[in-house]
Chain A
Amino acid sequence: MEFFHKVTRFPFMNTRKVWYGLSALLIVASLGLVVIRGLNLGIDFTGGVVVETNFPRAPNIEVLRTALAAAGVSGAQVQAFGSSRDILVRLPPDPNVKGEQVGGRILEVFHGIDAGVKLQRTEVVGPQVGQELFVKGSWALVATLVLIAIYVLLRFTPKLAVGAILAVLHDPICVVGFFAVTQMTFDLTAISAVLAVIGYSLNDTVIVFDRVRERARNARKLTIAQVIDESINQTLSRTLMTKLVTLLVVVALLIFGGETLHGFSAALVIGILAGTYSSIYISAAIALDFGLRSDDLLERKHTKPEEVDGLP
């Protein structure tokens, strides 16, 4: 079986203004949403208390909420978590109250409503730790981007590197925008997903660039825009097939992985989609607009064998 029997001839470079526009729209919308709606930060970052309980029968959430308020547990967010029988209570950090006591109190209140309630999980994160984790997470993001940028700079010409890095920035922004739209909880696992997206989405970009470099050396009669178009079209089947299979497994995670992995798998799905888009439409186009020429790729020919040897 083969979906792409003939090599396609899409004019990616001529239409790049359209794709830039779409990307700009996505980025502006994402950043705008993050600023306006904000992220629903998990207790990993805000600090606070999360208590997950399991009821034998689906309880009325409104009843639970009023019962908690009556018992003096203030500011509690009560919501179903996965199924209607799993109830999650989230409390903002309160310096006057000890976390472990709150957990016990919530369970006591719920016990009065349904004696069969079970405590599944409690998490207590101090506000300071939350802040620390947020700072650490942000640093991890920055460190990953810088290290990847250095790697790409070493492996490719500066102009291609700029394209790769801008395309790679595009993807996590889309993921964060997605979290702002859906108001899914953005926690430590979501950050891991964003980092994985950064690492993984560069994948296709690198493959396209690899081909651009190869074609530029072999087909010297073509203009650089033609080389890029050809390279993207030639690798299109690979790019789409690999992403399709990865999406298959990640969607399985999304469906079967349960509520805990929900945000994580959703972030991966969005990240993979955005990554595929940006490596086809954006990364090479940016390099072209930064004045990439065939000569840029030829110069490196002498040094290339050494670099390949130096690979892990």
Chain B
Amino acid sequence: MISYARWKFVLVGSALLFGILLALPNLFGEENALQLARDRAAVLPGDRTSIESLLASKGVTESGAFLDQGRLTLRFASKQDQLKARDIINDARPHDFTIALSQASRVPEWMRNLGLNPLKLGLDLRGGVYLVYQVDVAGAVRQLLDHYEQDFRASLRAARVPYQDVLVDYPGNRVQVLFHDAESFAKGRTAILGDSRTLILTDTTVSGAPALELKLGAAQIKERQDYAVQQNIVILRNRLNSPELAVSEPQVARQGVDQIAIQLPGLQNSAEVKKILGKTATLEFRMVDETNNPLEAATSGHAPLGSKLYNTRDKQPVLLKREVVVTGDQLTDASFQPNTQDGPAVSVSLDSRGAAKMLKNTQENIGHLMAVVFIDRSREKNAEGVDVDRVTEEVINRATIRGVFSNSFQITGVNPIEGRELALLLRAGGLAAPLSAVEERAIGPSLGQDNIDKGRNAMVFGMLAAFLFMAIYYKVFGLVADIVLIANVILLTALLSLVGAALTLPGIAAVVLTVGMAVDANILIYERIREELRNGISPRAAITAGFERAFSAIADSNVTALIAGIVLWLFGTGAVRGFAVVLVLGIATSMFTSLMGSRALVQLIYGGKRKVDHLSI
């Protein structure tokens, strides 16, 4: 008998059982599905039952359904059923859900409820669009400085304190308020601090004049940048979830300091999505300057004091007051109404601050004109290839205030297409900082299938070659290694399903490579056993010695590969990370299976015998 601890059998057995269970969901395959999402709300179990009975009443039965992360997925046996179901839901519950066509696994619901899910496929295998956006974090800091500048001016104006100027120094990250004399300085200081108590201002002098200075510290700048990136992520998610786009399972994640990576599986054409994602449209409500002549201002090019010159859609000049009544960030909701008495309109709701201002403004200005300014910032490259922000500001609507209103009202004067887009952009919120697309990869579905086939072939033939070689060269021990290799692939699949890592084509390559490396470990052990046998040690002792002595070599040689894998994992994005994840997990499973698994199998074969004369190796 070869001594061997019983707990090792238990460990190997339970690991294998666990692996098989976790890897099981991958055997079911996929079928056509619909994915239902709701704009800024979750789809509820109640919706599921009502949709199911709706479909049943029309004679379409889904082959399965599940709710996950607020999205309802319905599977169908055929493409026709899938499309029919979509039309039925669209007709019966218009504007209720965002419906995206997708693929879903046939995993039974009880398995899904246990948290057993199939491997996710990466975009290179599924087809889809991968986008990386660069967030203009410096722009976000500039916006903050501008914001302070406006606040300071407003405070001083409200307190009627005379001042020279408010200067913004972008590279220096500071705002300076310049006064004429010590008296106005003291008053101004009180006024500004009264409005924003938390600010830390320093007293200074700029070219002889007393001045107040606000300087952003490194921590504040970082906070602002992080905020900009986080805020943009939230907004991009909102926009992707909106019914206007209908994408299934969008993923939005921060990448590095100032980038956002977006994965849109199954999407074919990115143009529409990119148009919506990159937009920074917002609205401003301002009162119309009715005392001055806009045509005069347009010809002279100078707007009168306290006013600003704008154009309407049809290029008519308009003068609007400088003070903004309500800005776009005070909007809480917006929806498009295609048919109102006054044509297409956008219904708008305001938050309490905005509502209070709007109430006060409408009370004071009944009978006067209020204008809605549409501001669209887009980022483009100029002739030198430098990014420039193009800002389009247009007055989309001017209307006489006929009554007092506060938190909800309608904006008319939009055309149906932009009304829909405006509602979406307003609802999702304005981007905290401008975005520009810096990387885009789109993979068509046929190429994805092609990649799956190639990956599968490479895996099958590679493993077959390794299996045959092992069985011929090492006989019974070779077969042991083959069984262990299969266990290794099962465990690896299980781990990948468990951590939810997406399998990519380089990931499949890593699976193949790990199989090679797992073979490696087995060969190390068997060659060691052969060597011990040649030295004249008894077969039993050779087995024990072989496994024990090969341990340090296997550990050492795998640690170096593990180091390379971990570095790749940390530095890599996209496909490279897909490779690294599989490599690292694969090294772990291959060490476990070859050291523990194959030892247990060898023990099963030879361990129980009283006398072992010969090893089939």
Establish whether residues A199 and B561, one from each chain, have CB atoms under 8 Å apart when the complex forms. yes
Q: A99-B440, A245-B469 are in contact. Are A252 and B519 (CB under 8 A)?
A: no
Residues of the B chain whose Cβ atoms lie less than 8 Å from the Cβ of A113? none
| A128–B447 CA distance with the chains assembled, in angstroms | 28
B238 CB within 8 Å of chain A: no
Most chain-A CB neighbours within 10 Å: which of B274, B383, B461, B563?
Answer: B563
Per-residue 0/1 for B413-448: is the Cβ within 8 Å of any A Cβ (1 yes, 0 no)?
Answer: 000000000000000000000000111111110110
B557 CB within 8 Å of chain A: yes
Which of A16-24, A32-40, A66-74, A135-143 forms part of the interface with chain B? A135-143
Instruction: Tell me which residues from 236 to 277 in chain A have a Cβ below 8 Å from any Cβ of chain B.
Output: 237-238, 241-242, 244-246, 248-253, 255-258, 260-261, 264-265, 268
Cβ-defined partner of B461 (8 Å) among A140, A238, A256: A256
In terms of DSSP, what is the predominant structure of the interface of chain B?
helix
Q: How large is the interface on B (under 10, 10 to 19, 20 to 34, 35 or more residues)?
A: 35 or more
Residues of the A chain whose Cβ atoms lie less than 8 Å from the Cβ of B134? 126, 128
B270 CB within 8 Å of chain A: yes
Establish whether residues B552 and A210, one from each chain, have CB atoms under 8 Å apart when the complex forms. yes
| A140–B577 CA distance with the chains assembled, in angstroms | 12
| A12–B440 CA distance with the chains assembled, in angstroms | 52
Establish whether residues B575 and A188, one from each chain, have CB atoms under 8 Å apart when the complex forms. yes
Establish whether residues A140 and B470, one from each chain, have CB atoms under 8 Å apart when the complex forms. no
Establish whether residues A120 and B446, one from each chain, have CB atoms under 8 Å apart when the complex forms. yes
Residues of the A chain whose Cβ atoms lie less than 8 Å from the Cβ of B565? 196, 199
A61 CB within 8 Å of chain B: no
Establish whether residues B381 and A98, one from each chain, have CB atoms under 8 Å apart when the complex forms. yes
Establish whether residues A250 and B512, one from each chain, have CB atoms under 8 Å apart when the complex forms. yes
Q: How far is the CB of A195 from chain B (nearest CB, A)?
A: 5
| A128–B527 CA distance with the chains assembled, in angstroms | 51
Q: A100-B270, A188-B575, A242-B520 are in contact. Are A249 and B443 (CB under 8 A)?
A: no
Q: How far is the CB of B498 from chain A (nearest CB, A)?
A: 20
Residues of the B chain whose Cβ atoms lie less than 8 Å from the Cβ of A211? 553
Which of B18-26, B39-47, B102-110, B566-574 forms part of the interface with chain A? B566-574
B524 CB within 8 Å of chain A: yes
Establish whether residues B442 and A121, one from each chain, have CB atoms under 8 Å apart when the complex forms. yes
Cβ-defined partner of B457 (8 Å) among A136, A256, A312: A256
Cβ-defined partner of B553 (8 Å) among A122, A200, A206: A206
Residues of the B chain whose Cβ atoms lie less than 8 Å from the Cβ of A144? 563-564, 567-568
Establish whether residues A200 and B517, one from each chain, have CB atoms under 8 Å apart when the complex forms. yes
In the complex, residue of chain B having the shortest beta-carbon distance to the beta carbon of A234: B531
Q: How far is the CB of A166 from chain B (nearest CB, A)?
A: 15
Cβ-defined partner of B560 (8 Å) among A137, A206, A251, A260: A206
Chain A contributes a number of interface residues (CB within 8 A of B) equal to 74
Residues of the A chain whose Cβ atoms lie less than 8 Å from the Cβ of B558? 203
Q: A207-B524, A241-B473 are in contact. Are A96 and B383 (CB under 8 A)?
A: yes
A151 CB within 8 Å of chain B: yes
| A118–B127 CA distance with the chains assembled, in angstroms | 14
Q: A147-B563, A252-B461 are in contact. Are A245 and B571 (CB under 8 A)?
A: no
B385 CB within 8 Å of chain A: yes
In the complex, residue of chain A having the shortest beta-carbon distance to the beta carbon of B579: A192
| A52–B448 CA distance with the chains assembled, in angstroms | 13
| A137–B555 CA distance with the chains assembled, in angstroms | 27
Q: A122-B441, A199-B561 are in contact. Are A246 and B580 (CB under 8 A)?
A: no
Establish whether residues B462 and A248, one from each chain, have CB atoms under 8 Å apart when the complex forms. yes
Establish whether residues A100 and B576, one from each chain, have CB atoms under 8 Å apart when the complex forms. no
Q: A147-B567, A210-B553 are in contact. Are A256 and B458 (CB under 8 A)?
A: yes
A148 CB within 8 Å of chain B: yes
Q: How far is the CB of B575 from chain A (nearest CB, A)?
A: 6
Residues of the A chain whose Cβ atoms lie less than 8 Å from the Cβ of B461? 252, 255-256
Most chain-A CB neighbours within 10 Å: which of B124, B528, B558?
Answer: B558
A2 CB within 8 Å of chain B: yes
Establish whether residues B552 and A2, one from each chain, have CB atoms under 8 Å apart when the complex forms. no
B141 CB within 8 Å of chain A: no
B297 CB within 8 Å of chain A: no
Residues of the A chain whose Cβ atoms lie less than 8 Å from the Cβ of B466? 245, 248-249
Most chain-B CB neighbours within 10 Å: which of A207, A237, A244, A248?
Answer: A248
List 23 interface pairs A-B (beta carbons < 8 Å), by A numbering: A1-B472, A99-B440, A100-B274, A100-B440, A125-B439, A126-B134, A140-B567, A199-B562, A203-B560, A207-B524, A211-B553, A242-B523, A245-B519, A248-B469, A249-B462, A249-B466, A249-B516, A257-B505, A257-B509, A265-B509, A311-B556, A312-B555, A312-B559
Known contacts A188-B576, A242-B519; can you find 13 more A-B pairs with CB under 8 A?
A: A95-B386, A96-B381, A120-B447, A123-B441, A124-B441, A196-B565, A207-B553, A234-B531, A249-B515, A251-B462, A257-B509, A258-B454, A260-B505
What residues of chain A have their CB less than 8 Å away from a CB belonging to chain B?
A: 1-2, 7, 52, 54, 95-96, 98-100, 118-126, 128-129, 136-137, 139-140, 143-144, 147-148, 151-152, 155, 188-189, 191-192, 195-196, 198-200, 202-204, 206-207, 210-211, 234, 237-238, 241-242, 244-246, 248-253, 255-258, 260-261, 264-265, 268, 308, 311-312
What residues of chain B have their CB less than 8 Å away from a CB belonging to chain A?
A: 124, 132, 134, 270-271, 274, 381, 383-386, 437-444, 446-447, 450-451, 454-455, 457-458, 461-463, 465-466, 469-470, 472-473, 475, 505-506, 509, 512-513, 515-517, 519-520, 523-524, 527-528, 530-531, 534, 552-553, 555-565, 567-568, 570-572, 574-576, 579-580, 583
The 4 closest A-B pairs by CB, nearest first: A95-B385, A199-B564, A252-B462, A246-B516
